[in-house]
Amino acid sequence: MKRFVVGAAALVAAGWTASAEAADLNYGQRAPYTVNQPLNAYSWAGPYLGGNIGYEWGSVDNNPTKPSGFVGGVQAGYNFQNGPWVFGVEGDIQASGADDTFAPWKFSNPWFGTLRGRAGYAFSNVLFYGTAGLAFGELRGQTFGWTESHTTAGWTIGAGAEVGFAPNWSAKLEYLYIDLSTSQFAITGVSNGYSASVVRAGVNYHF
């Protein structure tokens, strides 16, 4: 009986040892599938939507007024990524409080928008980029109770930096130069256009 108990104990111990070795072997086989995953990679690819707020200052062609004021709006875009290189397209629409009065004229830029291409280089979750494309917006003139508005198109160019601070969220700081084409204003008797600089900060949600 004693021999039987000792033999059974030895058999159980051997089974535990074999099970432990098998478990170690299986874990070793699975290890490369977890270790090799790019756990710390940040992806800029895909669609995004966000909002921004900033400040605008500019000048009116053939007029002494220099409109300035706060701006705010929304933007949406899509990024493609190849290694550290990021390319994309972005559109935005802005409400603007930029205006100025130089008697007897008052000029303002109530709103503007852009449609731009973007290209940049990413250092993981930090993206530096340049941007350029189409600009459009309204230039409104007033004098002696008369108001005249023209909506025109032009071009824009700028640069910015964007930082991913969470898996689906990023924050950006951006500068744009906007140039809207001239049009004939009856209240001034000359062609008036509008050019402005915009500095704005924004937040994007990446889908």
Mean pLDDT value of segment 49-75: 98
In a domain, 38, yes or no: no
In a domain, 122, yes or no: yes
Phi/psi of residue 98, nearest 5 degrees: -70, 125
pLDDT at position 60 over 50: yes
Q: What is the 3-state secondary structure (H, E, C) of 56-103?
A: EEEEECCCCCCCEEEEEEEEEEEEEEECCEEEEEEEEEEEEEEEEEEC
In a domain, 162, yes or no: yes
68-82 and 85-102: which strand pairing?
A: antiparallel
- Name the band, by pLDDT with cuts 50, 70 and 90, for residue 47: very high
Mean pLDDT value of segment 113-132: 98
Rounded percentage of the chain residues whose pLDDT exceeds 70? 81
What is the span of the domain harbouring residue 158?
46-206
pLDDT tens string 126-160: 999 999 999 999 999 999 999 999 999 999 999 99
In a domain, 73, yes or no: yes
In a domain, 125, yes or no: yes
Mean pLDDT of the chain: 86
In a domain, 150, yes or no: yes
In a domain, 127, yes or no: yes
- CATH number for the domain including 138? 2.40.160.20
Domain count for the chain, please give it.
1
In a domain, 40, yes or no: no
- Its pTM stands at 0.79
pLDDT tens string 153-188: 999 999 999 999 998 999 999 999 999 999 999 999
Helix residue ranges per DSSP H, the chain: 2-35
